[in-house]
């Protein structure tokens, strides 16, 4: 008897064949019949099959505290560029991690883009904070967070210029994945910090440096895969 994972893979392949453009009416009928028979034989729910079609890739933050909003904003921006969705979860060994969910190689591309962007952003943010003289530590931290937010907003604005809405098939599959694997998942709205007085300079500085990030268009399964790389300071 096949194990459940192999059955799910087989059912998913049957549905993929049935939905493919080149399949003949007879192939579609055979594939659907085989898929339904397997689901009945192994008592599989449709949500399990849909969830199984989602691929994932994780990136550890190596922190024991929940990721700050600007880290969520960066993860969200990278995920949007590659037709993915992100969630944060706690790993006892690695601390908090981001998981990117999508189709095919999209999650891996998102994880790579996030890691590259984070490396560049952290360096730029550290340099900006070092320039804040005669400030209290909490002021430096606040301005560092505002700089990061401005930087990510600039990148997010570029992503919005080419990234369309996620296709319905991927969106429905990710929803099924979340419902099946993370039914108790909590959602929240990313909050933007309010910049006042001299703090606005940090937000502006972040935006200006974020505009140096270059976005390259490649050809992927979706036809508009984006590849993000760092630009000069």
Question: pLDDT tens for residues 132-167?
Answer: 988 899 999 999 999 999 999 999 988 887 777 788
So what's the pLDDT on residue 133? 86
pLDDT tens across 50-93, in order? 898 899 999 998 888 999 899 999 999 999 888 899 999 998 88
- Rounded-to-integer distance, Cα 177 and Cα 85, Å: 11
Residue 6 backbone zone (phi > 0: left; psi -120 to 50: alpha; other: beta): alpha
- Residue 35 · residue 15 · CB < 8 Å: yes
Average the pLDDT over 98-111 and give the result: 92
Token duo for residue 93: 């060994």
Q: Check the CA dihedral 181-183-184-186 and report its sign.
A: positive
So what's the pLDDT on residue 229? 58
DSSP secondary structure of the chain: ---HHHHHHHHHHHHHHHHSTT--HHHHHHHHHHHHHHHHHTT--HHHHHHHT-EEEEEE---SSPPPHHHHHHHHHHHHHTT-EEEEEEETTTEEEEEEEESTTHHHHHHHHHHHHHHHHHHHHHHHHHT--S--HHHHHHHHHHHHHHHHHHHHHHHHTT--PPPHHHHHHHHHHHHHH-TT----PPPPPPP-GGGHHHHHHHHHHHTT-EEEE---TTS--EEEE----
Indicate the average pLDDT of the chain: 86
So what's the pLDDT on residue 221? 44
pLDDT tens across 18-46, in order? 888 888 888 889 988 988 898 888 888 88
């Amino acid at each position: 008897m096949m194990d459940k994972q192999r059955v799910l893979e087989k059912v998913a392949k049957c549905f993929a064949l049935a939905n493919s453009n080149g399949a003949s009416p007879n192939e579609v009928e055979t594939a659907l019949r085989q898929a339904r028979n397997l689901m009945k034989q192994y008592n599989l729910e449709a949500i399990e099959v849909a969830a199984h079609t989602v691929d994932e890739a994780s990136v550890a933050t190596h922190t024991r505290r929940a990721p700050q909003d600007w880290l969520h904003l960066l993860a969200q921006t990278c995920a949007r560029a590659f037709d993915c969705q992100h969630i944060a979860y706690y790993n006892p060994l690695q601390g908090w991690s981001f998981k990117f969910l999508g189709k095919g190689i999209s999650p891996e591309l998102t994880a790579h883009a996030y890691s590259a962007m984070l490396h560049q952003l952290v360096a730029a943010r550290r340099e900006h904070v070092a320039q804040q003289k005669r400030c209290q530590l909490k002021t430096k931290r606040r301005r560092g967070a505002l700089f990061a937010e401005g930087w990510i907003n600039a990148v997010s604005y570029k992503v919005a210029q080419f990234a369309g809405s996620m296709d319905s098939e991927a969106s429905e599959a990710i929803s099924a994945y979340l419902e099946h694997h993370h039914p108790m998942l909590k959602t929240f709205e990313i909050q933007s910090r309010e910049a006042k007085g001299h703090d606005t300079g940090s937000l502006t500085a972040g935006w200006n440096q974020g505009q140096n990030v270059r976005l390259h268009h490649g050809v992927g399964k979706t036809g508009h895969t984006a590849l993000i790389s760092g630009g000069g300071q």
